[in-house]
Amino acid sequence: MGISRRTALKASLGSAVAAFAAPVVARAADSGWAALKGQTIVVNWPAHPHYEAAKKLLPDFTAATGIKVELDEMQYLRMKDAQVLQMSKPQGDYDVVVYVIMWKTEYVQRQFLTELEPLFADERLAMKDYDRAGIIKAYYEGLGLVGGPRGYLPGPGAKLYGIPYGAECSVLAYRKDIFARHDLTPPRTYDEMLAAARVIKDKEGGMGGLAQRAQAGHQVTAGWLNHLSPYGGQVIDDRFAPQVAAAPALRATEVYKTFIDTGPAGGAAFDFGQCMNAFLQGQAAMYCDTISIFGPARDPARSKVTDTVGYLVHPKAVRHSGELGGFGMAIPRNSGRRDAAFAFIQWMTAAAQDVRVTAQGGQPTRWATLDHPDVKKIYPVDVYRQCLEISNPDWRPIINEWTEISEKVLGLRLSEIATGKAQIGPAMETAASEIKAVLTRAGYYKT
């Protein structure tokens, strides 16, 4: 895989320096880590705005603990294949893996991950004053717990396998100047968002209304799901019966297609990066996706609209309901450096580092971070709190078969709809049948 533990941070860190001074913690507070000095861990994480900010903290982690870090950084949808390959070995090369929320249940079912509760109970390893209770509860439960109701929600049977890092919920970003020019209401409902998209497409030459994900596969499913939950829809119900051809899902699909048709040029093939970039470069007047927009929207090197962006909670359709997702950090069961990996996860997600990474454009994991003055200067804290309040941990089913359903069933049928190759009703009926076939094969229906 091209990773050498001897090359350490040479290529990936360069001369990265923290953007502002902060105390280095953990050296004295966690005496059990002294035995870990000199070890090198390999961390697989995504090329993503949050992790670009986090990268700047790594030299301080090594200075504080003596543990060296090598990064295997890649586009986030490529990580799963690499992680499964390594975690399937008797001993893999990865000591820390960053997983996307939709992989967590499968990884635990396949016995790939280390349960974290026993490590937190080990006084040699547990970081003093770590304060797990300070982590935003929705993120802690949604990204870290596996085994509860439906296999992935908090409740009886749920155990901790990861810590949220780069967790996210959805938010609406919009161009205040464009809305003012056309006397448009900043959208708090889907009706207002749809009306604005039509006006902007009609009256702003070369600009679309809403930028969203639509590339075939995972991306189109993620874009569609952003609208499904607000319209009261589900992919499957509590008995695992497909609901993608039910009335709420069909309405959400109609809305999704309208946003494609009134969106920026080429939007029917956008991935996440293209969706964000279309808004940052002035090709779309709205963006309704993850909070990872916050950092790049402020960065003049990435954004042409730094002074004109407003934020609102994810608009209401039949109900207020937004995405809850993002990334979590875990330790593969076959890591040979488990203790050093656990030290890394704790240090990176501790309170001091959470403030630092957020102030540099990352995504906060802790409630207290939102009250820090350095964060309040740059972060739309009040809107973010509202977005967290309506976030829905069950906005898509995180079952073992979700990757197949998301990429090969919905990812195909929704792409056909987005590109005009199929009608909504027949395509979603086909998707429902295909989902039922997947779940039948997997044994979800007892006779």
Q: Residue 306 belongs to a domain with what CATH number?
A: 3.40.190.10
Confidence grade of residue 166 (pLDDT, cut at 50, 70, 90): very high
Residues 155 and 199 in one domain: no
Residues 262 and 376 in one domain: no
Residues 273 and 386 in one domain: no
Q: How many residues does the chain have?
A: 447
Closest by alpha carbon to 212, among 167, 168, 256, 166?
Answer: 256
Confidence grade of residue 31 (pLDDT, cut at 50, 70, 90): low
Residues 177 and 71 in one domain: no
Domain boundary among 390, 413, 428: 390
Q: Which letter does DSSP use for residue 314 in this model?
A: P
Give the Cα-Cα-Cα angle 407, 410, 416 (nearest 5 degrees). Answer: 105
Q: State residue 15's pLDDT score.
A: 32
Residue 372: which residues within 8 A CB-CB, separation 6 or more? 355, 358, 359
Yes or no: say if 263 and 211 are a contact pair by the CB < 8 Å rule: yes
> pLDDT tens-digit profile of 46-67?
999 899 999 999 999 999 999 9
Residues 158 and 291 in one domain: no
Average pLDDT on 131-147 reads: 96
Q: State residue 9's pLDDT score.
A: 33
Give the Cα-Cα-Cα angle 109, 115, 116 (nearest 5 degrees). Answer: 150
Query: Within a domain: residue 3?
Result: no
Q: State residue 360's pLDDT score.
A: 87
Residue 17 has pLDDT above 50, yes or no: no
As a whole-number percent, the residues of the chain with pLDDT over 90 amount to 88
Angle (deg, nearest 10), helices 338-349 and 351-359: 60
**Residue 299: how many CB atoms within 10 A of its CB?**
12
Give strand pairing partners of 115: none
Query: What is the distance between the alpha carbons of residues 218 and 407, in angstroms, rounded to a whole number?
Result: 5
Q: What range defines the domain where residue 235 resides?
A: 169-322+398-441
Structure tokens at 330: 């875990």
Residues 183 and 305 in one domain: yes
Residues 267 and 404 in one domain: yes
Query: Within a domain: residue 179?
Result: yes
Residue 48: which residues within 8 A CB-CB, separation 6 or more? 76, 166, 292, 327
Average pLDDT on 153-164 reads: 96
What are the angstrom distances between the C-alpha of 261 and each of 188, 211, 265, 289?
A: 21, 11, 9, 18
Structure tokens at 154: 């908090």
The phi, psi pair for 242, rounded to 5°, reads -60, 140
Residue 6 has pLDDT above 60, yes or no: no
What is the count of structural domains for the chain? 2
Yes or no: say if 59 and 10 are a contact pair by the CB < 8 Å rule: no
Q: State residue 14's pLDDT score.
A: 34
> pLDDT tens-digit profile of 301-312?
999 999 999 999
Q: Coil, helix or strand for 107?
A: helix
Query: Within a domain: residue 65?
Result: yes
Q: What's the mean pLDDT when you consider all of the chain? A: 92
Yes or no: say if 105 and 328 are a contact pair by the CB < 8 Å rule: no
Asked whether the CA dihedral 14, 167, 119, 44 is positive or negative, the reply is negative
Residues 217 and 180 in one domain: yes
Say which residue, 332 or 447, is predicted with more confidence: 332
Yes or no: say if 329 and 341 are a contact pair by the CB < 8 Å rule: no
